[in-house]
Amino acid sequence: MKKKVIIALSVLAAIIIIIAIATSKKTGVIPQKVKVNKGPFEILVTITGELQAKNKEDITGPSELRQSRSFRVSDIKIQDLIPEGTVVDSGQYVATLDRSSLSNRLKELEDEEETSQQQFLKTQLDTTLQLRSLRDDLINLEFELEEKQIVVDQSKFEPPATQRQAQINLERAERNFKQAKRNYTLKKEQAEASMREVSISLARQKREKQDMLNVLEKFIIKAPKPGMVIYFREWGGQKRSVGSSISPWDLTVATLPDLSVMISKTYVNEIDVSKLKVNQPVRIGVDAFPEKSYTGIVADVANIGEQLPNTDAKVFEVIIRVNEYDPILRPSMTTSNQIVTRNFDDVLFIPLEAVNVEDSISFVYTTKNKKQIVMLGDQNENFIIVEKGLNENEEVYISIPENTDKFTLAGLELIPEIKARLAEQKQKEEQAKVDNRENGNKLREPRGRGGRMPNQNSK
């Protein structure tokens, strides 16, 4: 009994295997097919971007660092910085700068002030002693002049020679007194000038020291107005945070963006930049909120290309303005931007997968067993416009069908027109290269605030 059951099961399994093999040989793979559609058609350029506020106010270090050369600092580190995204009120704490960068200079200023103070005291003592000595000499000369006058008065009863000698001595004494008086006046003016000089030097040292102390007080950075603190992005794309440095030429510590008007900053490759124009409509999505959608327009397209850091790609900056205001939107959020470069109201189009190319001639396989040559137009992410060769609702294969050698070649009359168009396109490309060489087509390094690599897919 068991043997019969085993034999029956074996026969049944063999039959199933034979049927499966036979069926698979007959059926094969059925190619997919699709109808030629007719209707509106959009040409898109899709790129990723980064949200930024159109307007912002910088939170900066002390402006005195830029205005005064006496501080002699090239960079100052950020010692502390509140977390990005913190909402602050006017005058609220934001950051602290490292004072050690100015401590050595403050010590130098204190030493210079002390030296100037000692110099002031020394000059004051020297001039006091010198003028006192000159005043004593002047008094002695005045007494001597008075004595000579007495001698002259007493010599009127003496011989003429004695009288003359006394008169000469009196005149000499008068001259010495006048010279000493003039010398005292000059020495006094000289002493006053010396005192003014050391006084000015001392006042300058005190002022520089006080300026330094005032600047050090401003190393505690506070918000100039209410807003949300966003870290400043340097030209290489890095965010300025704790440990980063500012300089007298770039004092920005962080920013307070105006969130009422947002833009998406992005970069497009040089192949697609010719398609973009100002005021083109844009559909905007935000990665953080995939359920949300927004609209915008192209606000600016750069005329000069950039080479982003650590890449060889040549890109052009594109600024997209967001039309709507939404309080959930924040700077640095990643956006997906679909820029509508062209619109067609009523055209024929098929999937890109249905198009095959041989020797620069495009064709499709139809369900009527034709290898149909087609003239194609613009394309987007998934579809391409068919200008000639197909009709609406005609069916074409997406994948290559079997026995394509049995398909009839159709549309040969389109080949001359297709080749003419290809030649015209090539001529335009060559002319564009010549124009670029003549215009210089120079690249510039990006300044600012950096950026992410663009999505290079043209749609």
Tell the burial category of 144 from Cβ atoms under 10 Å away from its Cβ (0-12, 13-18, 19+).
middle
Dist CA 128 CA 143 (whole Å): 23
Using the CB atoms, write b or e for 397-421: b if 16+ within 10 Å: bbeebeeeeebeebbeebeeebeee
- What pLDDT is recorded for position 70? 60
Q: What is the pLDDT of residues 339-349, one digit of tens each?
A: 999 999 899 99
How far, rounded to the nearest angstrom, does the alpha carbon of residue 290 sit from its chain's CA centroid? 28
Percentage above 70 pLDDT, the chain: 86
Per the structure block, which two tokens stand in for 106?
């403050």
Higher pLDDT, 157 or 60: 60
| Structure confidence at residue 31 (pLDDT) | 67
| 3-state helix, strand and coil shares in percent for the chain, rounded to the nearest 5 | 40, 35, 25
Residue 173 has pLDDT above 60, yes or no: yes
Main-chain phi, psi angles of 267, to 5 degrees: -130, 135
Per the prediction, the chain carries an average pLDDT of 82
What's the pLDDT tens digit per position in 208-245?
A: 778 778 888 888 999 998 888 988 888 777 889 998 88
SS (H, E, C) 120-178: HHHHHHHHHHHHHHHHHHHHHHHHHHHHHHHHHHHHHHCCHHHHHHHHHHHHHHHHHHH
Residues whose CB falls within 8 Å of the CB of residue 222, separated by 6 or more in sequence, listed in order: 91, 92, 93, 94
Spatial CB neighbours of 195, under 8 Å, sequence gap ≥ 6: 120, 123, 124, 127
Q: What are phi and psi of 76, to 5 degrees?
A: -130, 130
3: DSSP letter: H
DSSP 8-state secondary structure symbol assigned to residue 406? G
Domains and CATH numbers, the chain: 55-99+218-255 (2.40.50.100), 104-215 (1.10.287.620), 260-439 (2.40.30.170)
338, 286 contact by CB (below 8 A): no
pLDDT 10s digits, 65-81: 776 566 667 788 899 99
DSSP at 98: -
Residue 259 CA: distances (Å) to CA of 56, 185, 326, 449: 9, 72, 9, 18
